Structure 1
Amino acid sequence: MIAFVFPGQGSQYVGMGKDLSETAKDLFEIASDVLGFDLAKLCFDGPDSDLNKTENTQPAILTVSYALLREVLASGISPVFVAGHSLGEYTAAVCGGVFSFEDAVKITRKRGELMQKAQPEGKGAMAAVLGLDAITLKQICESITDFYVDLANLNCPGQIVISGEAEAVKKASELAKQKGAKKVVPLQVSIPSHCMLMREVAQEFEKYLQNFNFKNSKFPIVSNVDAEAVQDAEAILNALIKQLYSPVRWQDCVKYMISKAVDTFIEIGPGKVLSGLIKRIDPSVKVYNIENLNDLTSIKKEELK
């Protein structure tokens, strides 16, 4: 059985989606109208500095991912489950028909704007901790009482991201090394995603989402928040709100799908981050990556069931 998975922020790069300039011209035009600038030009030509602005990055990744998804579905490949890493959950929702592509562009733009303004520049931070288990890292975070830090992304065995106030992330990183972490990599972000510092903007985001009509999903969406499959419109809405300030339980999401007999994962969108994580979670499953039309041509030659 097949699951489609969609990447989140950090997978963007200048040149992404360039070979879709004709097949997805309509989608880039819709997104450009919503955003008020030429999104195709930004994705294809940059500059990096503009593409990497959160409020631009989110709708850009969504658009490229959805453009590729549309080609995949048209080729006759369809999923049993869909899931996305953080922002990628919005592409999963469009795949399920929860809201339209145009609405998804509006929603991800707003999400990016709210996340960007959640904390003053330099106050928040994130870091990837390699080679330490979740229980030990959680204890480290809880031991820091003068500032706030917590687990943000449980990506795969031996890779957990922490998020919070910059001072706390720094302290936790040092303690993690003392406790045996192989490596701690500060992430090049100023937004402390997926932790309680996002709670306030989540309330504002919830009000914004009331403007849209959510529908039940055609495919079960495996939610980041609890690693359970949801199809009900209200449950999806609640999960997307809670996702802003809750850890991304990606490892558990993948394990859940495998427990439901998924043996083939297709990552659709820029980059190969999720493909790498899935291989580390369970090396026995098949993993494919589609970030351009050539990748799709190669996959169509495979016997996918």
Structure 2
Amino acid sequence: MLTWIETAGAALRPGAGWTEFLALFALVVASIVVIGLVTGAFFEIMNARHPERRIQIHRTNENKWGELKYAPGSIGVIALCFSGGLFAQGQGWALTPLPITWWSVPLTLAASVLLYDAWFYWLHRLLHWKPLYRFHALHHKSVAPTVWTNHHETLVEAILNQSFYFLIVFVIPIPWPVLVAEKIYDQISGMLGHAGYEHFASPMGRTPWPFASTVFHDQHHGYFRYNYAHSFSFWDRLMGTLHPRYDETVKRFETVTTPASGAVEPPASERPETR
């Protein structure tokens, strides 16, 4: 195991070859699987213990476990794009990363997270455009998403989303440990956004704060035409695509005691099946 990790780490140094790249790719795949299993188990336990925090109380995902058959392809694409970015940086093909300092870490992390949110918003809007929606339709079969829905996507959609992690090293001189930290956050927050239960509702998830809660992405699946961004709500607020009851729904979940006190069933005119 240690030799395998050392070989993968060698891919981050100049002169590495395909053997080191494949070891890095395998390490990233294994890491994503472990993060997914741990995060998924955590939310399965939390959801079972707190049924009152279910967001869509009148819907269930009958294909919950069947969605996992798409996970290998999705994870493979994620690992390929992410490993490719790290490898390109290590070989000196991308921007030279900044040294790790007290200011470079928060600066490059904030810049990358903000850029990814913009990337995700506009790409997501594009995928809802009729000529491209066929690549995104699979993901929207999960009208009531679960924590496992995060990887329920086509290979094309996965490539479009995850190519950010290959390209970002050519845009920002981000140190590789910072990019790793962002990717771990991305994996966990992606599963949190699909969890189907609002466990962490707080005032920071609604105006005037820009952060997005689980309700945010769940409403995108339930209502289809709203809430396209990833981590923040400001793009949707600016472009007029924020669900009109997002803030009030988050506020209700801050003090939820019964399922009905937090959840709202979508009006018939806003449901995906009538789009």
The TM-score with structure 2 as length reference comes to 0.30
Greater strand content: 1
**What is the TM-score of this pair, normalised by structure 1?**
0.28
Q: Which has the higher helix share?
A: 2
